[in-house]
Amino acid sequence: MTFEKIQAIIVDQLDKEEEEVQLTTNFREDLEADSLDLFQIINDIEDEFDIKIESEEGLNTVQDIVTFVEVELAKK
Amino acid sequence: MQAKIINTGSYVPNKIVSNKDLETIMDTSDEWIKTRTGIENRRISETENTSVLCGKAALDILEKSTITADKVDLIIVATMSPDYLSPSTACLVQDYIGASKSMAFDVSAACSGFIYALSVAEKMLSSGKFHYALVLGGEVMSKIVDWDDRGTAVLFGDGAGGVLLESTSSQGSFIAEDIHSDGSRGLALTTGALPVSNPYSQNEKNSSDIHLKMEGRAIFDFAIRSVPNSIKAVVETAGIDLSDIERIIPHQANSRIIQAIAKKLKRPFEQFALNISDYGNTSAASIPILLDELVSSGDLVLGTGKKIILTGFGGGLTWGSILIRI
């Protein structure tokens, strides 16, 4: 469920198809997202899951974000 | 009494500096700047300081109106790059245009400065104690940016703009406002640090630092969260819909921020006026320069009663929107 929600946010922000956004997808290399795109995606994810993502460092793939969000949700 | 906007005006320095020009003095690229900010050119002052830019904008406003400088009894300048800490930029403008009967002072609210100044002027004119107010936003950002920091130096430009307000017993221009500050996040965007320094102080001597410092993501995040809420607040207060708004005139910080704001509000990007490609981020000057451009081009016609929203956000942190009947 976490993945689907994150996938939907990325699809919406970057105007991509769902098939293009998989767990192994790299934001910069596969989706040509720049830092501001990533800021917007993080912003939407923070709102969606009501969590805080202090730094975008280390968040390179969709899997990185899914893992981060799941760890944060487990702390709640 | 109510306050009414009767004229607009602006002035920018002649020197145009393109992204290509910047490529020759720092490690940056036209492509990088354009895709991340929407900026292509900016005006840079070679000699004129903030008070001169504001003074020339004020003269531009007065020349378009029947009101002479001696009738102006209030001058408020919004700036984060004043000529001096004292005298205020507004006092220098008063002298420059010969408005000797005016009360003149500066407002410090960074990129939201014009919104703050307009809000203050509206209250003062509504009191009936003032008749004509010049509200100006002016900046020489080029003297406070760190030209060794390519992350911020490419973003800013110089210029000034403003409006002339009249106190009237008939219908005024101001319908609703929503203005905020959050000092707890103030250090995300700073300039002109003046630490305690004297023969008895414990601090390192001469540690003042004029340069602008900005936490990019924190400001981006702040803008795209706060501005949509502020825009929604003024239309709700006015009891109208966002689709009733002719144009939204946002502070020109970054076209990507404005795109993100449009997306959050689910409004077409075209509803937002944009001229950042020509001027960069001129802080407190960006909204009045853009407003004057729209009025001068005939896109907006004063007196038609159409509704617009001015919205600013920046250091302080400060942000706010004003819903206006033009």
- What is the model's pLDDT at position B93? 98
The residue from A15, A34, A47, A64 that is catalytic is A34
Q: Is A20 on the interface with B (CB under 8 A)?
A: no
| pLDDT tens profile B107-133 | 999 999 999 999 999 999 999 999 999
> Residue length, chain B?
326
Buried b (16+ CB within 10 A) or exposed e, B147-161: eeebebbbbbbbbbb
**Could you tell me the two tokens for B118?**
């307009």
Judge whether A34 counts as a catalytic residue. Answer: yes
Per-residue pLDDT band at B197 (split at 50, 70, 90) = confident
Q: What integer pLDDT is reported at residue B249 of this predicted model?
A: 98
> In the predicted model, what is the mean pLDDT of residues A10-23?
92
> Among B179, B174, B177, B163, which residue's Cα sits nearest to residue B325?
B174
The predicted model gives A7-26 an average pLDDT of 93
Q: Would you state the pLDDT for residue B207?
A: 67
**E-only strand ranges, B72-143:** 74-78, 103-107, 132-140
Exposure of B132 by Cβ count < 10 A (0-12 exposed, 13-18 middle, 19+ buried)? buried
Name the band, by pLDDT with cuts 50, 70 and 90, for residue B201: confident
Whether the CB-CB separation of B198 and B93 falls below 8 Å is answered with: no
Alpha carbon distance B209, B216 (integer Å): 19
**What is d(CA B8, CA A61) in angstroms, rounded to the nearest whole number?**
49
Among A32-46, A53-67, B202-216, B269-283, the range of highest mean pLDDT: B269-283
Residue B120's contacts (CB-CB under 8 Å, 6 or more residues apart) are B76, B107
How confident is the model at residue B275, as a pLDDT?
Answer: 98
Which pLDDT does position B154 carry in this prediction?
97
Please check whether residue B96 touches A, CB under 8 A. no
| Position A54 confidence tier, pLDDT thresholds 50, 70, 90 | confident
Cα distance between residue B251 and residue B182, in whole Å: 18
What value of ipTM does the predicted structure carry?
A: 0.84
* DSSP, residue by residue, chain A: -HHHHHHHHHHHHHT--GGG--TT-BHHHHH---HHHHHHHHHHHHHHHT------TT--BHHHHHHHHHHHHHH-
State the residue for tokens 């500096």. Answer: B17
pLDDT of the residue at B322: 98
| Residue B39 structure tokens | 């900026």
Cβ-contact B107, B118 below 8 angstroms: no
A37 to chain B: closest CA residue: B256
Question: Chain A residues with CB inside 8 Å of B254's CB?
Answer: 36
Flag whether residue B264 sits within 8 Å of chain A, measured between CB atoms: no
Is B154:B29 a contact under the CB 8 Å cutoff? no
pLDDT for residue B64 is more than 70: yes
* Contact across the interface for A39 and B217, Cβ inside 8 Å: yes
Question: Of B278, B288, B287, B293, nearest to B311 (Cα)?
Answer: B287
What the block records as the tokens of B243 is: 């689709």
Number of helices (H), then strands (E), belonging to chain B: the values are: 10, 13
Give the Cα separation of A31 and A37 in Å (integer).
10
- Those of residues 36-55 in B touching chain A at CB distance below 8 A are 36
Determine the residue of chain A that is closest to B215 in CA distance: A55
B221–A contact, CB cutoff 8 A: yes
Averaged over B291-315, what is the pLDDT? 97
CB contact under 8 A, B35 and A56: no
How far is the C-alpha of B199 from the C-alpha of B186, rounded, in Å? 29
On chain B, the residues whose CB falls within 8 A of the CB of A39 are 217, 220-221
- Lowest mean per-residue pLDDT among B89-103, B169-183, B192-206, B292-306: B192-206
Residue type for B97, please? I
Contacts of B290 (CB under 8 A, 6+ apart): B161, B249, B252, B273, B274, B275
Give me B285's structure tokens: 């000057």
Whether the CB-CB separation of B78 and B117 falls below 8 Å is answered with yes
Tens-digit pLDDT profile for residues B8-31 = 999 999 999 999 999 999 999 999
Mean pLDDT of B158-162: 98
Classify residue B71 by its DSSP letter.
G
- The pLDDT assigned to B182 comes to 97
Q: Residue B205's pLDDT band (boundaries 50, 70, 90)?
A: low
Q: Catalytic site residues of B?
A: 111, 251, 281
Which of A26-40, B17-31, B108-122, B155-169 has the lowest average pLDDT? A26-40
* pLDDT at B153 > cutoff 70: yes
Over residues B262-285, the mean pLDDT reads: 97
Q: Which of B275, B288, B277, B294 is nearest to B54 (CA)?
A: B288
Partnered with residue B320 across adjacent β-strands are: B179, B312
Q: Is A36 on the interface with B (CB under 8 A)?
A: yes
**B246-261: pLDDT as tens digits:** 999 999 999 999 999 9
For residue B204, pLDDT over 80 is answered with no
Residue closest to B253 by CA, chosen among B209, B184, B317: B317
* Contacting residues for B94 by C-beta, under 8 A, at least 6 apart: B75, B100, B102, B104
Mean pLDDT of B131-157: 96
Does residue A71 register a pLDDT over 80?
A: yes
Task: Give me the mean pLDDT over the B80-104 stretch.
Answer: 98
**pLDDT bucket at B38, cuts 50 / 70 / 90:** very high
Cβ count near B83 (within 10 Å): 19
A39 part of contact set with chain B, CB < 8 Å: yes
